[in-house]
């Protein structure tokens, strides 16, 4: 498992909801951001924002110190975590900026619903 405190230079933003830290993919808890490479599925609900905008939004929001609080593993084996940067919850920030959508089924323990006023949609 990864450490809980990192510096921004130790990670890479893959898209608006996923980081790579020391080779490990980490998904932000409770949100769906558009994937850079994936096309929207016809039956799925698509995130109505440009994937590059969402990625850049997350990249610019990351400030030291960064704290990663692992919560679970997703079906692909990635760590799902609450990530705080500069004291702000990054899932909440992506929701507030309209760069992701809230997925209650992905909000383990309804942690975002309790912490983010935007997650109650």
Distances (CA, A) of 12 to 21, 39, 86, 93, 100: 7, 22, 17, 18, 18
- Our count of domains for the chain comes to 1
SS3 60: helix
Give me the pLDDT at residue 89, please. 96
The mean-pLDDT minimum among 13-17, 79-83, 108-112 falls in 108-112
- The domain that holds 15 is classified in CATH as 2.40.50.90
Range of the domain at 93: 5-120
Q: How far apart are CA 58 and CA 35, in angstroms?
A: 13
pLDDT at 55 over 60: yes
Q: How far apart are CA 96 and CA 61, in angstroms?
A: 12
Q: How far apart are CA 108 and CA 64, in angstroms?
A: 25
Kindly report the number of other CB atoms within 10 A of residue 56's CB atom.
14
Q: How far apart are CA 45 and CA 80, in angstroms?
A: 21
34: left (phi over 0), alpha (psi -120 to 50) or beta: beta
pLDDT at 60 over 90: yes
The mean-pLDDT minimum among 25-29, 33-37, 45-49, 107-111 falls in 45-49
Give me the pLDDT at residue 53, please. 94
């Amino acid at each position: 498992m990864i450490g809980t405190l990192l510096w921004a230079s130790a990670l890479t933003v893959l898209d608006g909801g996923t980081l790579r830290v020391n080779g490990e993919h980490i998904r932000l808890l409770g949100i769906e951001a558009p994937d850079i490479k994936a096309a929207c599925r016809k039956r799925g609900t698509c995130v109505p924002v440009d994937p590059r905008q969402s990625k850049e939004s997350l990249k610019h929001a990351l400030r030291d110190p960064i704290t990663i609080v692992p919560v679970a593993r997703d079906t692909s084996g990635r760590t799902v975590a609450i990530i705080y940067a500069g004291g702000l919850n990054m899932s909440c920030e992506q929701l507030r900026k309209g760069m992701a959508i809230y997925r209650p089924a992905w909000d383990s323990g309804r942690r975002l619903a309790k912490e983010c006023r935007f997650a109650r949609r």
